[in-house]
Structure 1
Amino acid sequence: MPMDFVNSPRVDTLVTESEKKVFELFETMVRTTGQERVQSAIALANLLGNPGEFSFYIDCTEDQRIIRVFHLLRVFRENMTLLIHKTWVDGSENLQQDQLLGDLARFIQEFRDGRIVSAFRSFVGISRQIPSLLFGSLGKANDFLEYAFRIDPKFGLFFWYIAEIDLQLRNIESIPEHRELFELEVLIGTFVISCF
């Protein structure tokens, strides 16, 4: 469905020509490896998040990268924790809140431990909850993606991105160097959420 949406005539009215590059960059990032994949990821993150900032987490020494990525994960955790707590202010859904907070803690630990495929799965699960956290039942509607694009094209592009990486969980073996890809995709996703 997400790629079907991109190929529909409606997308022309919702995104600019430069924003349409997201779709091409995503495809390039998925099908390539190495430096070409990394450069596509940086260009993609520049369109989805704050331009020019994502390379800070990539173009550095390994020691710097560890520190910078852990900082990014901390900001992501703080933003998500605020969103989760703000959503359930009445305390009526403490079980769901506790579950999502537990998922968030597990994701951070999996990523820090280098369990990238597990962290990727956890990240996708958490990210799929964001529309419901922000919009309640509307976030689960069949036309939510179009709604998100109408609110803000970058917002729509982000949820399109999440839907696309969710599809990868069904086809892991067909993706070249999937661990490398999943790590980049998680970093892009946490970066974009940290920019909101």
Structure 2
Amino acid sequence: MRYSYEPRNRRSPQWLLYEPLDHFPAFRHGMAMDFVDSARVGTLVTESEKKVFELFETMVRSTGQERTKSAVALANLLGNPGEFCFYIDCTEDQRLIRVFHLLRVFRENMTLLINKTWADGMEHLMQEQLLADLARFVEEYRDGRTVSAFRSFVGISRQIPSLLFGSLGKANDFLEYAFRIDPKFGLFFWYIDEIDLQLRNIENIPEHRELFDLEVLIGTFVLSCF
């Protein structure tokens, strides 16, 4: 079940529980939000940021131009507004160059974070594994191995809370903690938890390669905005 913010009337907005993607019954989202007190989160995000949940659902359900439009709107809320279209509204050759540059920035930033964490006490083997995962992700994406790159990206992203906050990043209530630090920070990790669940339900996602490609692009873009 997922928490969605929907006003029943203009004076008494309420958080409602609903089952998303009801025309894909095997496809269930929202486990991460079970760890969040929805009433408190409602006070931590703006009205526009609450649109993230609806936009995400639309992006997953739709295909083609409608999916791309939802992805751009979602990225504008999760990252720096107006910048994500730089990777969408361009020729194929331009997109290739721009996305590869974004991947390079993502890899450099993650490498700095991994090395800093290791210097602060992380085991050397863990450092080497994460760096290897990072290199593999970039290679998979560049080679067009969309599903493999998606899986690698999710795995790397799920390590970020631990890299930043140690054991606190593994706590069940970390997501609410992230929302309190910064609503966009919380929304990003909510997003990562959501796309992680898709790996178990690939057969129920329309044009899943198209979706995974967009979701990885959104994820790397948002991380470059922090």
The question of a shared fold, defined as TM-score above 0.5 by the shorter chain, is answered with yes
Q: What are the equivalent positions in structure 2 for 1:27-176 lying under 5 Å apart?
A: 27-90=57-120, 93-176=123-206
C-alpha distance in structure 1 between counterparts of 2:36 and 2:141, whole Å: 30
| TM-score for both structures, normalised by structure 2 | 0.84
Name the SS of the counterpart of 1:17 in structure 2: coil
Unaligned runs of 5+ in 2: 1-30
| TM-score for both structures, normalised by structure 1 | 0.97
CA change 1:7–1:62 in 2 (3 A) is farther
- The answer as to whether partners of 1:132 and 1:139 remain within 8 angstroms in 2 is yes
How big is the shift at 1:7? 8.5
Instruction: Spell out structure 1 runs of 4+ moving beyond 3 A.
Output: 3-7
Unaligned runs of 5+ in 1: none
Name the SS of the counterpart of 1:14 in structure 2: coil
Q: Mark the structure with the bigger radius of gyration.
A: 2
- The answer as to whether partners of 2:179 and 2:186 remain within 8 angstroms in 1 is yes
- The answer as to whether partners of 2:87 and 2:99 remain within 8 angstroms in 1 is yes
Percent identity between the two aligned chains = 87
CA change 1:7–1:182 in 2 (3 A) is farther
C-alpha distance in structure 1 between counterparts of 2:80 and 2:214, whole Å: 16
More helix by share: 1
How big is the shift at 1:178? 0.3
Deviations 1:96-118 (A, max 9, x none): 00000000000000000000000
What's the counterpart of residue 51 of structure 2?
A: 21
C-alpha distance in structure 2 between counterparts of 1:102 and 1:34, whole Å: 33
How big is the shift at 1:162? 0.2
Structure with more contact order per residue of length (Cα contacts < 8 Å, sep ≥ 6) = 1
